[in-house]
Amino acid sequence: MAQTVGIAGFGTIGTAVATRIARDLPGLELLAISAGRRDVAETRLRSLDLTVPVVSAGELAASCDIIVECAPTAAFLSIAEPALAAGRTLITVSGAAILEHPGIVDVARAGGGQIILATGALLGLDAVRAAAEGVIHSVRMVTRKPPRSLRTAKYVVENGIDLDSLAEPLLLFRGSAREGARAFPSNVNVAAALGLAGIGADRTELEIWADPTKLRNCHRIDVDADSARFGFEIENIPTDENPGTGRITALSMIAALRAIRAPLRVGT
């Protein structure tokens, strides 16, 4: 029997996920979506030749087994709370929102729901989770993004930082992953995920650079633990529609969806 899926947020990520469910994810049925702009969402659905209704977040939670959350960060709670209270599975990339609202885990526990934080935009988290079963001494992450990927970031806008004429790399932030997630809630969900997987967001060190020499969103992570010492890098290609979001982010959510129904699951 197919499990029903609802998508909350129908922008770059939601569109990619909806298209793949309709074409290439057996055992899953796209039942409905919710979006901030119903008219825009309905137009996009027609362009994709998809005939599913646009409903409220509450209706999505009431009718769908799985909710894929890919809405703006500010909408996270309005989507997550009813879904988890109803015992649904919530797939999200909003690590920053989970850090900002840790009580959402209690909502999931009380309602019998589950949060799956899709982390395909950051490799190596299986190793980090394994190391966290022992003792991790330190975790450090350095993010370097082309200026256009950070132009609309909360911290950049609030501080009036001009990135358009940047000629050399500029250090925008140095601190903990928790602090970075608050300053850049839509840009460093990967840092939040790293903190949640390892020694916590307060002990995870983070640097964020606007780097005009980069064409991709680049992350370097170094971990020192009693079980292993390792480092890894990833260079994510930005989407054309939203340079702050890598193409692999939507694929991460698709992979998480596929794993729910897969007879063989590789990775923890």
Annotated binding site for NAD(+): 121, 189
- Residue carrying structure tokens 């309905």: 42
Identified catalytic residue from 219, 234, 246, 249: 219
- Residue among 34, 117, 38 at smallest CA distance from 79: 34
User: Residue 244 CA to chain centroid, in angstroms?
Assistant: 12
Dihedral angle, C-alpha 116, 252, 73, 149, nearest 10 °:
150
Q: Is 219 a catalytic residue?
A: yes
CA atoms of 54 and 41, how far apart (whole Å): 7
Residue list, annotated binding site: 121, 189
User: What distance in Å separates the CA atoms of residue 4 and residue 27, rounded to the nearest whole number?
Assistant: 9
Q: Phi then psi for 57, rounded to 5 degrees?
A: -65, -35
DSSP lists the bridge partners of residue 89 as 66, 114
Among 125, 144, 123, which Cα is nearest to 136's? 125
Burial of 180 (0-12, 13-18, 19+ CB in 10 A): buried
> By the 8 A CB rule, do 193 and 125 touch?
yes
Taking each helix axis from N to C end, the angle separating 125-132 and 189-197, rounded to the nearest 10 degrees, works out to: 30
Residue burial 181-219, b: 16+ Cβ < 10 Å; e: rest: bbbbbbbbbbbbbbbbbbbbbeebbbbbbbbbebebbbb
The residues assigned a catalytic role are: 219
